[in-house]
Structure 1
Amino acid sequence: MFAQRFTSIVSRRYVSTVVDLYKGLINGDRGCLAKCITLVESTHKEKQQNAKELLSQVLQELKQRQQKQSNKPISFRIGLSGSPGAGKSTFINVFGRFLIQQGHKVAVLTVDPSSSTSGGSILGDKTRMLDLSRESDAYIRTSPSAGTLGGVTRTTNDAIVLCEAAGYNVILVETVGVGQSEFAVVDMVDMFCVLLPPGSGDELQGMKKGIMELVDLVIVTKADGELMPEVRRLQTEWLSALRLMRRRSPNWKPKVISVSARTNTGIDKSWEQMFEFENAMIKSGEFMTKRSNQLQKWMWNNVKDRILEQFLADDDIQKAIQSYEQRVIRGLITPFVAADAILALFAKVKTDKTT
């Protein structure tokens, strides 16, 4: 009896917390926004349930706001990717302040390479965006990637909509590097940009064709002083390469520009190209179609995550996995046979629990 009463009290407390967080969030409280993102990042089961309730309310709120704007998008989501040393954080520090001066509210979601041992962030992007972090109309959130493929965390999509609910109309998503696995961010943003420093010509040779076909804008960084000849060469190389690539959209031809955060040149040009892209996508109807497709992928990603969680949470299945792994290693059965057997066991366990 006591346990039931205690559980009821705890549940009511969490519900009250969710209501308070939601109210603060839609009123633009940065502290509430931070707490909301922490909630959706939690792996605690009860907190995950509250996170779902919060996100449901948030999505309804965003839908109503969009309807009030004649179904026009209430935000512009931009993915920024590039290898370490490309100058992503330095660019964002200057670019974000430029956007604020233009009257925008900017949220930056950065994914830090994380320690495979502790899962903690290594770089700490806020230390490299000090000027932007001091702006009242900016919000910066760094999350450890914890080995997540795709250059984004499991909850990046959640964080994006929470930032939108808090009133941020430009969302910048900075990802870890560029490589074979850096595709997930494209399913979360409206525009995908790659930042390249001078001297990265070899990177063009090694870059996967799939990544190149996803690029909407190439930004060559550090375009000043004695680096200018190399900057021009890199721009020419990329323009030539992009001409040979299949265009992702019939309504946009990928561009290549150069910027210098140090001398503050090309920053306005970057926004001009991004703004031009956004208008082209909205005018063609492709913008909202892409958003709809992203919601579907978000749903299926959650389905896969939930199945995997249930799969790994069952003790009997865990024991079976260990046994089948050893038999595969010893060559007694093939990986395909082992996979079928494990999945059959999972289906049986689920059936037994429901009967």
Structure 2
Amino acid sequence: MKTLTFVGCGMMASALSIPAHDNGHKIRLVGTHIDKDIVKEGKKSQYHISLKRQLSHDTEFYYIEELEKALDGADAVICGVSSFGVDWFLEEVYPKINPEVPVLSVTKGMINNSDGSIITYPEYWMQKLEEKGIKREINAVGGPCTSYELADKHQSLVGYCGNRIEELKMFREIFGTDYYHISLSTDIRAVELSVALKNAYALAVSLSVGIAEVEEGKEGVNHYNPQAALFTQASREIGELLEVYNGDRNQLELGIGDLYVTIYGGRTRKIGTLLGRGISFDKAMETLKGVTLESVVIAKRMGESINKLGEDGKINPEHFPLLMHVYDLIANEKKVNIPWEKFNLDDFEN
């Protein structure tokens, strides 16, 4: 039995504790400063008010002020913050973790460099920690898996990535079950970029939901041809972006699978639907006030990166018309106008 400390007890990290507990491991869930209500109820009843699931009676909950107590004796740490907590985790949590204790992150996203290149969160953390004199490896999770369905033990297939294969095998032994299946990769950039990009493209595909609602004059309708067309274009663009930033399309399937599951519900579908109805970005954000929207952050950062690389002649932004349209909706307050004519599927030279 290993002792696992999850820092950030949001829905995905907390759901991930379930297969680990099924494998006989001790679970400690530490709430950040925004998780106080979750911890308060968890300490009392082990019920997770955000995940809306009953966790096991021996799951231990801790406030962030109890972090050092929760880290004491931990065999592994799981980073469960959103992309908005990346720098906080870097400054406040990593220095308190023994460098010999393995870390697994569920946080998806990337950070822009001034030259237009990007760096994934595990790469960013390892780089910044090394600058502080802390040498450590950071592993990460990617792939098509929603927290609710994992908590309900529905069949799921994900990818774990990191530089040390033995560490990855250890995490697979901790979390892998007959319903939670894990593939391993040492290509951190490919896995993390693939599953981060799907957030921006899930927003893009969801635009068609809002457009259909306007055309039909009622909410909740679906036109599947437009959704499938946007899904197809999203798949093409994700593949090309993997080649631009990583050198090949390795791990494309994880991003496409994650794209599939993300467009069927949740926060990203909501913002995409609102924009698809013709609502401005500012008004859509006001409607969803208080909701964490990583898809918006990723779309904006990718758009900025593509524009910079385009200015330097390194890529052609016109190869990514769908992503750049989403970027225009967010950064330039444009109204939805899907550039269908730019989705060229010809496989021969003109």
- TM-score between the two structures when normalised by the length of structure 2: 0.32
Higher helix share: 1
- TM-score between the two structures when normalised by the length of structure 1: 0.31
